[in-house]
Amino acid sequence: MYEPEVSVIVSTYNIVDKDQADDFTLLVNLLVRQTYPYVELLVVDNASTDGTLELLKEYKNLGYLTFYSEPDRGKFDAYNKGLLRAKGKYVSFISCDDFYHDITAIADIVNLMEQEDADFCFFPVYCCHPEGYVFQFTPAMLNAFQVTPCPREAIFYKKSALDEIRGFDEKFKLLADYDLVIRLLLGGYKGVYFESNVLTCKVGERVLKHTEQVEAECNHIFYKNYKNLHPMTNDVLDRMVKISEIPKPLLDKLARTFPDEDRQLFYERYEQMYNLRLEAVKNLREQERRGR
């Protein structure tokens, strides 16, 4: 029986100096205990200058991973390099301090993707916030045209699908993974939901700290992906970024990317997200007025 290989791609840079070596050790030790036998751990290192390479060499000698070390232009450049070198039919992209806490995770996800002939699979994950608390992030793929539907780590991809759309767009330094999801949906690629929570990841501090860059990248992502569907004026883009408001003609076109049976729910989820963000903006403005 044919068993497709899976490539788990990880980017690293000076993880010893950053006190991430123990996290990476946990990632490796749990990955080698996965019940699925055909997993390739591929590490793309950004020419680390501390003890990272020695650690990677140790694990390579044990047969746990393959790694490459050379300068890169950021995380998504590293992931694209990994994608080019990956041997698996399926790929995932995780950070050096993430880990699969369920040892049957990869076997279960691959089985589902094979059964459904899916191009990508998304699932709930535990997210560790920098302030010390943990929460479950349940994917909201029906809201993907408004907001990031799930963390990058919460998706498995068919490599051939990513090859067709040429991987991550590296001009987006924080949200290239969000842009990728939108392109998959608009391209008609098939997604499937896996219900179990199998992975723990950390919330990206750069995204939390650089809100202006996040908004700017969202603006560019929306313009890039929707400009051929609807006139993307500055006002339209601003309202989409700030309060997730999508013009009705564009909304109707985006709804067609989902199966007929999901379209009514798509409209309902759109309204819920729009109202939530509108209320959040109103509350923020009220707080600002009170603080004057």
Q: What is each CA distance from 115 to 164, 197, 215, 243, 269, in whole angstroms? A: 22, 20, 38, 38, 28
Show the domain range for 252: 227-290
Q: Using the 3D structure, point to which of 141, 172, 207 is the last residue of a domain.
A: 207
Residue at 68 is within a domain: yes
**Given this model, what pLDDT does residue 287 score?**
77
Indicate whether 128 and 234 sit together in one domain: no
Indicate whether 185 and 250 sit together in one domain: no
Residue at 219 is within a domain: no
Residue at 30 is within a domain: yes
Which phi and psi (to 5°) does residue 215 adopt? -65, -40
CATH number at residue 112: 3.90.550.10
Q: What is each CA distance from 267 to 45, 194, 234, 244, in whole angstroms? A: 43, 22, 24, 13
Please name the residues in contact with 3: beta carbons below 8 A apart, sequence gap of 6 or more: 37, 38
- How far apart are the C-alpha atoms of 243 and 96, rounded to whole Å? 33
Does residue 68 contact residue 34 with C-beta atoms inside 8 Å? no
- Rounded to the nearest 10°, the torsion over CA 232, 164, 79, 145 is 30
Q: Using the 3D structure, point to which of 179, 207, 235 is the last residue of a domain.
A: 207
Indicate whether 13 and 92 sit together in one domain: yes
- Rounded to the nearest 10°, the torsion over CA 129, 131, 134, 139 is -30
Indicate whether 282 and 174 sit together in one domain: no
- How far apart are the C-alpha atoms of 8 and 99, rounded to whole Å? 11
**What predicted TM-score, i.e. pTM, was given to this entire model?**
0.94
The number of C-alpha atoms within 13 Å of 175 and in the hemisphere containing its C-beta is: 24
Indicate whether 146 and 285 sit together in one domain: no
Please name the residues in contact with 226: beta carbons below 8 A apart, sequence gap of 6 or more: 232, 250, 254
Indicate whether 52 and 136 sit together in one domain: yes
**Given this model, what pLDDT does residue 4 score?**
85
User: pLDDT tens track of the chain, all 292 residues?
Assistant: 567 899 999 999 999 999 999 999 999 999 999 999 999 999 999 999 999 999 999 999 999 999 999 999 999 999 999 999 999 999 999 999 999 999 999 999 999 999 999 999 999 999 999 999 999 999 999 999 999 999 999 999 999 999 999 999 999 999 999 999 999 999 999 999 999 999 999 988 888 888 999 999 999 999 999 999 999 999 999 999 999 999 999 999 999 999 999 999 999 999 999 999 999 888 877 777 776 5
- How far apart are the C-alpha atoms of 287 and 292, rounded to whole Å? 9
Residue at 221 is within a domain: no
Indicate whether 240 and 194 sit together in one domain: no
Residue at 218 is within a domain: no
Which of 191, 186, 156 minimizes the C-alpha distance to 250? 186
- Number of domains present in the structure of the chain: 2
Residue at 158 is within a domain: yes
Q: Which two structure tokens, joined as six digits, stand for 184?
A: 């998959």
Indicate whether 83 and 13 sit together in one domain: yes
Indicate whether 66 and 203 sit together in one domain: yes
Give the other-Cβ count within 10 Å of 291's Cβ.
6
